[in-house]
């Protein structure tokens, strides 16, 4: 059954319908693999195997009755921050270590309705506030490619579980790269959808049962993670809000030969590691070889400094909300993290040419950026850029104020890594693997599209995967 460990959902679905494998057998194989491999990874930290076994038996009965739901009998995991009835939802904060919600998050409900069997929940950083995955309740999650390195965050546990072949599909979330950074660090795919397409209900800090009664400035989003882009296509459609499909554009790409691709390889606020720039240049060569029209962005194509400044000012506004603060007041360590993030806000915002004092100025800056992005997508189908400034870095659990990130042997402020994740707030971004650095660490990119152009960015990932290859299992888990 380990042969199924790196299968895509579509192949598993066919095998289940043809009765070459049963849902219970898939469940038992996944559990065996988790119990054998997860002790060194520490990815699946909240487990619900008894209920999952019962759900697998029910799936086999439904399959026997020719039920054709697309995820029927397929084992998955979800990020610990999603409410799942009766299971712990702590966000890694010790003061909430015993809190259990009464209802499933809406996104979890949709996946269960499609037949998915939820095995449990995957690890997160403390208060979802890091590109590493560690907390005082569950401990630290390792990267399957190098156990000494981070799998990313805050959806790091899910990325590690996927890369190690524990499950084929994961539900994650993204505020400042929380889907894209783990995908990049672990060599998998993820999709951060256009704002408003997938319900955030049931993904909120512990004790906020239904969800936050306000929109956090279009910054947070829920999306799928997988090993294969075809599974992103499937899960994304299943997760959509009612009538959301009507807002989506049809995919603009049928093949790579007619793709119009703009590449942004450098950010004015933080250097990009040479290994990532080289991998992106090699991808450009491959795209051009199959006929794609590719161009590197000029200095006036998009004000990236303004993108980051607007994003960070919105982050600051979000965390001043009284309800959110009432929950986070019991998370003192988060205060230290956000003190450093505030320093990054002041430092990086100062690099922008726009004066963002006051709500009116901030709103005007957002309108200016929206116009810049619309202009870009009048000429180009997608924009490719790095997901993060470096490949996966070594675990660093120093106090927030002492951390740095090494970029080509030079230290830089740790929280300035927000530069690339803040490139396109609100727009769809699909993360996909494109290669490896000299040390064998995965390198991924963001594929950014116009608002509601999610099907185009995911299709681009599918076409790249088909033409150039995609996910490769880490050697120790093959």
Average pLDDT of span 148-154: 98
pLDDT given at position 158: 98
Average pLDDT of span 315-336: 60
| Percent of the residues in the chain that have a pLDDT greater than 90, as a whole number | 76
pLDDT given at position 141: 98
Task: Tell me, rounded to whole angstroms, the distance of Cα 107 from its chain centroid.
Answer: 15
Average pLDDT of span 24-40: 97
Query: Helices (H) and strands (E) in the chain — how many of each?
Result: 13, 15
Q: Provide the pLDDT confidence category of residue 343 given band limits of 50, 70 and 90.
A: low
CB-side exposure of 159: number of CA atoms within 13 Å? 42
Q: Provide the pLDDT confidence category of residue 157 given band limits of 50, 70 and 90.
A: very high
pTM over the 0.85 mark: yes
Task: Tell me, rounded to whole angstroms, the distance of Cα 461 from its chain centroid.
Answer: 14
Rounded Cα–Cα distance for residues 354 and 363 (Å): 12
pLDDT given at position 205: 86
Give whole-number Cα distances, 430 to 87, 184, 475, in Å.
Answer: 29, 11, 25
pLDDT of 318 above 70: no
pLDDT given at position 275: 98
Q: Which residues have CB under 8 Å from 455's CB, separation 6+?
A: 233, 248, 249, 250, 251
pLDDT of 328 above 80: no
Q: Is residue 445 a contact partner of residue 387, using CB atoms and an 8 Å limit?
A: yes
**What's the mean pLDDT when you consider all of the chain?**
91
* Residue with the larger pLDDT of the pair 18 and 321: 18
Q: What are phi and psi of 45, to 5 degrees?
A: -100, -20
pLDDT of 274 above 80: yes
Q: Provide the pLDDT confidence category of residue 415 given band limits of 50, 70 and 90.
A: confident
pLDDT of 340 above 80: no
Q: Is residue 179 a contact partner of residue 225, using CB atoms and an 8 Å limit?
A: yes
pLDDT given at position 319: 61
Q: Say what the alpha-carbon torsion angle 453, 458, 460, 462 is, to the nearest 10 degrees.
A: -160
* Residue with the larger pLDDT of the pair 57 and 352: 57
Q: Provide the pLDDT confidence category of residue 387 given band limits of 50, 70 and 90.
A: very high
Place of tokens 């093959």: 478
pLDDT given at position 209: 77
* Residue with the larger pLDDT of the pair 158 and 323: 158
């Amino acid at each position: 059954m380990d042969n199924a460990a790196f299968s895509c959902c579509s192949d598993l679905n066919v095998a289940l319908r043809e009765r070459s494998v049963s849902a219970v057998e898939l469940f038992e194989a996944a559990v065996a693999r988790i119990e054998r491999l997860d002790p060194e990874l520490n990815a699946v930290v909240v487990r619900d195997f008894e209920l999952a076994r019962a759900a697998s038996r029910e799936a086999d009965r439904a399959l026997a009755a020719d039920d054709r739901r697309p995820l029927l009998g397929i084992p998955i995991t979800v990020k610990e921050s999603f409410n799942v009835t009766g299971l712990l939802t702590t966000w890694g904060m010790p003061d909430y270590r015993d809190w259990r919600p009464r209802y499933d998050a809406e996104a979890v409900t949709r996946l269960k309705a499609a037949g998915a069997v939820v095995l449990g929940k995957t690890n997160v950083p403390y208060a979802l506030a890091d590109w590493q995955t560690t907390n005082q309740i569950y401990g630290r999650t390792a990267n399957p490619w190098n156990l000494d390195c981070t799998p990313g965050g805050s959806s790091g546990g899910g990325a590690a579980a996927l890369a190690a072949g524990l499950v084929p599909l994961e539900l994650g979330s993204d505020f400042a790269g929380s889907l894209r950074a783990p995908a990049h660090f672990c060599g998998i795919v993820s999709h951060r959808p256009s704002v408003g397409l997938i319900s955030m209900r049931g993904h909120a800090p512990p004790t906020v049962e239904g969800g936050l009664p306000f929109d956090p400035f279009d910054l947070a989003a829920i999306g799928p993670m997988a090993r294969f882009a075809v599974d992103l296509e499937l899960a994304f459609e299943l997760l959509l809000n009612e009538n959301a499909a009507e807002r989506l554009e049809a995919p603009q790409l049928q093949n790579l030969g007619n793709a119009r691709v703009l590449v942004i390889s450098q950010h004015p606020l933080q250097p990009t590691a040479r290994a990532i720039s080289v991998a992106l240049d090699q991808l450009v060569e491959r795209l051009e070889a199959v006929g794609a029209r590719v161009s590197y962005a000029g200095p006036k194509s998009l004000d990236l400094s303004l993108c980051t400044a607007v994003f960070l000012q919105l982050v600051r506004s979000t965390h001043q909300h009284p309800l959110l603060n009432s929950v986070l007041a019991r998370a003192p360590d988060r205060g230290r993290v956000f003190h450093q993030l505030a320093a990054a806000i002041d430092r990086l915002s100062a690099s922008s040419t726009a004066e963002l004092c006051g709500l009116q100025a901030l709103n005007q800056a957002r309108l200016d950026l929206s116009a810049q992005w619309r202009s870009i997508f009048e000429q180009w189908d997608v924009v490719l850029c790095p997901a993060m400034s470096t490949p996966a870095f070594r675990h660093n659990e120093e106090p927030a104020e002492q951390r740095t990130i090494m970029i080509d042997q030079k230290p830089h402020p740790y929280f300035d890594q927000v530069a690339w994740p803040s490139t396109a707030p609100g727009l769809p971004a699909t993360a996909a693997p494109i290669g490896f650095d000299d040390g064998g660490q995965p390198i991924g990119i963001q594929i950014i599209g116009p608002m509601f152009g999610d099907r185009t960015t995911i299709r681009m990932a599918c076409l790249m995967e088909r033409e150039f290859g995609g996910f490769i299992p880490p050697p120790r888990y093959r």
